[in-house]
Amino acid sequence: MQQLLLLFLLLVGLRPSSSQTNSQDVAALQALMKNWRNEPQSWTGSTDPCTSWDGISCSSGRVTEMRLPSMNLHGTLSNTIYQLSALTYLDLSNNPNLGGTLSPDIGNLKQLTILILLGCSFTGNIPKEIGNLTKLTFLALNSNKFTGGIPPTLGLVSNLIWLDLSANQLSGEIPVSPGLNQLLSTKHFHFSENQLTGPMSESLFNANMSLIHVIFDRNKFTGPIPKSLGLVPNLTIIQLDQNQFSGPVPNSIGNLRNLMELNLASNLLNGTVPDLTNATQLNYVDLSNNNFASSPAPGWFSTLTSLNTLFMDNDGLTGTIPSALFSFPQLQQVSLAKNAFNTLNMRGNISSLLRVVNLTNNHIIEENVDPSYNNSLILTGNPVCLDNINLCTLKQKQQVPYATSLGPCGAISCPTDQSANPVTSQNCLCTNPFQGLMIFRAPAFSDMTNAATFQPLESTLAQNLSLAPRSVALSNVEFSPGAPLTLTVKIFPVSGTGFDRSDIIRISSALVNQTYNAPRTFGPYSFIASTYFPSPSGKKSSMSTGAIIGISVACFVLIVALVLVAIYALRQKRIAKEAVEQTTNPFASWGAGGKDNGDVPQLKGARYFSFEELKKCTNNFSGIHEIGSGGYGKVYKGTLANGQIAAIKRAQQGSMQGTAEFKNEIELLSRVHHKNLVSLVGFCYEQGEQMLVYEYIPNGTLRENLMGKGEMHLDWKKRLRIAVGSAKGLAYLHELADPPIIHRDIKSTNILLDESLNAKVADFGLSKLVSDTQKGHVSTQVKGTLGYLDPEYYMTQQLSEKSDVYSFGVVMLELITARQPIEKGRYIVREIRTAIDQYDQEYYGLKALTDPAIRDSAKLVGFRRFVQLALECVEESAVDRPTMNDVVRELEIIIQNEGAQLLQSGSVSAEQFGNAKGRDPYAEHLPMKDESSSSTFDYSSVYSYSAVEPK
């Protein structure tokens, strides 16, 4: 009996846990856990939430904090969460698969001071009971799918400092009395990207408010901007762009002495351009696209010396652009496109930080520009360009956005979703960084190239989040006026293994609750995390040493075996190849055509075919085998003796090329092997015949497909893939072929599409070896195709790889427009350049020029960047063009972002996207096509030498 009692006491003593946490809280959490997938492992392993559950903190046995940001939770908030009545801190942010509605019971959580639900999928109304949470100081519901109005009861949350409702589908007017005018402590009103309507009440703002940021862009507000906005004394950011505000800009706004950023672009504002003379702290002003009365440049163009960015496109400005503007010491960017300025004066003290002056489509007839100014000056569409073409083209410099240098690790390529870890730069192990998008809705600067701006962001992130030096890397910096500045931040673990749950909670939490303060010029930010799969908690490996040794030995044995197999395979391949080369000696009848005796061609891998062989496989070149014809002859489809389907190009009498060119093409083609280049199977040169035998590419040329002749609908994603495929083929020619090869005739009729829509570059008849010269460019007689021809090559006869880059840029423009490069006397490059409107977020001003087949369907992710890249490729001056490797890299980023956007918009899940497994997300989406249906393609231009010589 005594023993039993002892045992009982022991048992009680061993279970202190269940008695520590309030039983109602335990029950609530356990019910919540049933509702969720992917809750932390620690939640299932232990019964006491207060001592051992990740993300839970307690006080006196009650659950007071729940921090589960970026945990990939799936599910809804079961009603039991509202029983956690002692909660002061609730952060479930960045769980995109956590959704459902918020219950009115949220009003029970009366102790809450911080509520962060950003980056989830919550729907329905914001319940009015949120007004019961009077202790709330921080409320972030941004990036969800909330609908309905802003509840007037929010005005009762009088301690609120941070209010972020951006990027939802909220509608209706902003409530006042009761409503948001009562929030005297609030510093942040962030309501961007909703469907809020106006008019905005004059009583929304008053002089007792503490607001510093008023960010209402991209809504549907109408009516005048309230004059009372100018009474709020501490305002630093006013962002009202992309609404339908009308009437004049209240004068009071020009007297806000702390104002750093004023963005009123793309509204219906009228009256005179506002007087900003007294807003002496202004850094960033955007007043573009309003209905202001036509006027000369306002006086503050010469006095507002704090400015770094001035955007006033399409505002009816006339006369002279004052030269004082360009001497403001912080000035980075000026855009005054689509005005009626006639004189440009840029003399004297030009700001050393000035990067871009955009004066597209003005009436400038006179310019006086200091020759020391070496950055971008865009004068396209001005009369002055008619006389002085150099001025209008040579001053457009590409702006390469900042990206953190990864040192030696930058050269390491890792599987999708992994990056080489720069923290331990000796080994650069591929690792899973924790990453996400930082969105800065109101940066007070516009130059994205300056390391001095971005490096403080890196260093303060590392310091503030207690991370190792070099563990923060920024990339994909993007900004255009009217859109937020976005960038990808990658955070690397110190060791190669990845972060565990508690690391992720700590880092993600500090980024969503604004513990991390970005440098002041960046303004407020939000952080949208990508899905992360944490390593198991407890940083040590769970494997025993014995197991590790066992696995290592097994791996070693496996590697040795693989190496032996590889050596054997290579040897067999060489033996086989030698055998083939011996039986089909291409030199045997070389020169049989008579006088064209050249050196024997140097062939690698291409076969020699006898006339009889090819005659047989095309049924004596019968009509049913014919798949194309043109001035040079005909192309036949035939099945070779080994079963391979081939396209056989047979030159006709009179269009035979010289032996030199024929030889050139077979030599080149036989040397290059890449999945994005059409490969030569062999050739025939006997009995007065010249025939080239290519691999058969079933889906025709890019041009045919763009003209809708194919059955394939080329949507945007497929076009991106075609672009990157052909760019890779070209990059291979330029960078990896030895010696490098310049194609010289890149055009949409020389890009073929196979059954999986892989792009293959064809027709090497004009190609040149770079080794033909010492200096990397070749002086040759100009050849190529009109519309694709590099103007610098045309003028100087100096050929380089950059001439192919130019032609490729034209092909990129064709992918956008589906037009021929020259149509009805109009040149696509020029058409695009003058049509660009940087405020058009969706189409970049190119809606009318965009191929209707892509324009009206899905969102064109990366469209702007794609256009910009194409325009960099067609820069007049070869040195300003990117290399094909740069182009491939850029296109891959665009495609990655395309995938990421799909992921964010929920049209594919992380699993489908292959996020965890590192698969190519595009591999599965492409339809396969039956090749027999495509034999109607006109091959006439495909395998032809259709180059023209410009006059």
Ligand X SMILES: *[C@@H]1O[C@H](CO)[C@@H](O)[C@H](O)[C@H]1NC(C)=O
CA dist list (Å): 869 to 306, 552, 672, 789: 32, 46, 27, 18
Q: Please, which residue, 246 or 807, has the CB nearer to ligand X?
A: 246
- Minimum distance of ligand X from residue 291's CB (angstroms): 7
**Reduced to 3 states, what is the DSSP secondary structure of residue 625?**
helix
Written as six digits, the tokens of 519 are 């440098």
Q: Facing residues of 439 across strands?
A: 486, 526
Distance separating alpha carbons of residues 528 and 437, to the nearest angstrom: 5
Q: What is the sign, positive or negative, of the torsion defined by CA atoms of 723, 726, 730, 736?
A: positive
Biggest CA pair distance of the chain: 118
Residue 247 as a binder of ligand X (CB under 6 A): the answer is yes
Q: Please, which residue, 185 or 295, has the CB nearer to ligand X?
A: 295
- Minimum distance of ligand X from residue 792's CB (angstroms): 49
Q: Please, which residue, 270 or 797, has the CB nearer to ligand X?
A: 270
Q: What is the sign, positive or negative, of the torsion defined by CA atoms of 172, 174, 178, 180?
A: positive
Q: Where are the beta strands (DSSP E) in 538-686?
A: 607-608, 626-630, 633-639, 645-651, 680-684
Q: Do 356 and 378 touch, CB atoms closer than 8 A?
A: yes
Phi-psi region of 69 (alpha: psi -120 to 50; beta: other; left: phi over 0): beta
Instruction: Count Cα neighbours of 887 within 13 Å in the Cβ-side half-sphere.
Output: 38
- Minimum distance of ligand X from residue 273's CB (angstroms): 13
18-24: long-range contacts, CB 8 A cutoff, minimum separation 24: 18/47, 18/48, 20/48, 20/50, 20/51, 20/58, 20/61, 21/48, 21/49, 21/50, 21/58, 21/61, 21/62, 21/63, 22/61, 22/62, 22/63, 22/86, 24/83
Q: Please, which residue, 152 or 248, has the CB nearer to ligand X?
A: 248
Residue 199 as a binder of ligand X (CB under 6 A): the answer is no
CA dihedral of 520, 510, 512, 859, whole degrees rounded to 10 = 80
Written as six digits, the tokens of 2 are 């005594």
Distance separating alpha carbons of residues 635 and 943, to the nearest angstrom: 8
In the bound state, the residue with its beta carbon closest to ligand X is 270
362-370: long-range contacts, CB 8 A cutoff, minimum separation 24: 362/336, 362/337, 362/338, 366/342, 367/343, 367/391, 368/343, 368/344, 369/344, 370/346
Q: Please, which residue, 201 or 509, has the CB nearer to ligand X?
A: 201
Distance separating alpha carbons of residues 705 and 753, to the nearest angstrom: 9
Q: Please, which residue, 247 or 401, has the CB nearer to ligand X?
A: 247
**In 3D, which of 788, 741, 805 has the Cα closest to residue 768?**
741
Is 745 among the residues known to form the active site? yes
Residue 850 as a binder of ligand X (CB under 6 A): the answer is no
Residue 152 as a binder of ligand X (CB under 6 A): the answer is no
Q: Please, which residue, 274 or 882, has the CB nearer to ligand X?
A: 274
Q: Facing residues of 123 across strands?
A: 101, 145
How many residues make contact with ligand X (CB under 6 A)? 4
The string of DSSP codes covering 50-110 is HHH-TTEEEETTEEEEEE-TTS--EEE--GGGGG-TT--EEE--S-TEEEEEPPGGGGG-T
Written as six digits, the tokens of 562 are 């693989």
State phi, psi for 485 to the nearest 5 degrees: -75, 125
Q: Please, which residue, 314 or 618, has the CB nearer to ligand X?
A: 314
Q: Do 767 and 741 touch, CB atoms closer than 8 A?
A: yes
Q: Please, which residue, 227 or 709, has the CB nearer to ligand X?
A: 227
Count helices and strands (H / E) in the chain.
21, 48
CA dist list (Å): 19 to 45, 80, 444: 17, 20, 54
Written as six digits, the tokens of 549 are 């040794």
User: Identity (one letter) of the amino acid at 765?
Assistant: G
Distance separating alpha carbons of residues 130 and 153, to the nearest angstrom: 7
Q: Please, which residue, 134 or 295, has the CB nearer to ligand X?
A: 295
* Percent helix, strand and coil across the chain, each to the nearest 5: 30, 20, 50
User: Identity (one letter) of the amino acid at 624?
Assistant: I
**Reduced to 3 states, what is the DSSP secondary structure of residue 769?**
strand
Q: Please, which residue, 242 or 335, has the CB nearer to ligand X?
A: 242
**Reduced to 3 states, what is the DSSP secondary structure of residue 915?**
coil
Q: Do 26 and 18 touch, CB atoms closer than 8 A?
A: yes
Q: Determine which one of 241, 503, 745, 851 is catalytic.
A: 745
- Minimum distance of ligand X from residue 193's CB (angstroms): 24
Distance separating alpha carbons of residues 277 and 259, to the nearest angstrom: 12
Build a one-symbol-per-residue string for 203-242: x at contacts with ligand X by CB under 6 A, - elsewhere: ----------------------------------------
- Minimum distance of ligand X from residue 189's CB (angstroms): 25
Q: Please, which residue, 244 or 841, has the CB nearer to ligand X?
A: 244
Residue 246 as a binder of ligand X (CB under 6 A): the answer is yes
- Minimum distance of ligand X from residue 200's CB (angstroms): 14
Q: Does an H or E element contain 529, and which?
A: strand 525-529
Build a one-symbol-per-residue string for 263-292: x at contacts with ligand X by CB under 6 A, - elsewhere: -------xx---------------------
Q: Please, which residue, 226 or 484, has the CB nearer to ligand X?
A: 226
- Minimum distance of ligand X from residue 72's CB (angstroms): 49
Catalytic residues: 745
Residues that bind ligand X (CB under 6 A): 246-247, 270-271
